[in-house]
Structure 1
Amino acid sequence: MTQEQLNRYKVISSLIDGKLSISEAAMSLGLSERQIKRLKKGVMERGPAFLIHKNTGRKPQHALTDELKSKIISLKQSDKYKNANFKHFMELLEEHEGIAISYSCLHTILTKAGINSPKKRRRFKPHRRRKRKPQEGLLIQMNATPF
């Protein structure tokens, strides 16, 4: 059980023992009185296991499989796609391999595997900021318009 679930159990058990009222338990847990009644009933019927979420420890239904992740990593490390950046690699996966995956998911998979996107250096910016004058008021400002 997590710390939050243990805290909930402690408050609900003190509610069952009669040490707290429903409104006090609702205030301490930040829930409505209706939810407190529901939790109390569940703990009385099923015990503390009622407070643990049923999906705890399960993999999400929409998550990518480990085989697909390892296939993507091996394709990226192969000579065929080695020099492609992440966006281009995503497009190549969809076009040639038939794997449709979002950029953010692909980026997460590859960066966790220690693969960085090959990027060029940033382009030189021709405009640079001027150096600050040593004292305030030394900068001369003029208006060059004839008006």
Structure 2
Amino acid sequence: MSERELQRIEVLSRVNERRMTSATAAGLLGVSARQVQRLMKTFLSEGAPALRHKARGRPSNNRILDGVRDFALELIREHYIDFGPTLAREKLLERHQLAVSKETLRKWMTEAGIWTLRRERKRRLHQPRGRRDCLGEMVQIDGSHHWWFEERGPKCALLVFIDDATGRLLHLRFAGSENTFDYFHAAKAYLQAWGKPLAFYSDKHGI
């Protein structure tokens, strides 16, 4: 038997053992789901040798490989568009019984424009944020946990309120840690001394 015929027998065996769906088999073999059902009927009633005659006039090995590639890429576009080749390969095997090597899948995804090699990925450009124009317009809030009193006291956090326009330190408060309760107390003291700014600003890791 040819390699294509052996592949067809292997795929139909998986369908018969319920390890592969007819839809997946159709994608692998490059035929319709109805044709898979006809092949299964022949396979079960007449055995594997009968498939040699059924294979005449069917697509070549290259066309079958193209069908596997197109089917795999279709699944990736529909279900795994944000996945890299390694994880996409695992999902294709786990959920669709489609076995493709990682390097082959990487090549297909790269050629299809789904995956970009790491060295070719464009670095994201971060536009620096400009300072505000007026004192008190926006106040930056930050905290730093440190041995501020050296060995004369415990390690503690310094909560800082900084004017964005001028960089001026407007309020400082020592606390046991950076926590919501102490930030609220510090904010209350700041508001009593300076009034309400248009905005408070903290980084994405802050409170």
| Larger of the two Rg values belongs to structure | 2
TM-score, normalised via structure 1 length: 0.36
Please state which structure has a larger fraction of its residues in strand: 2
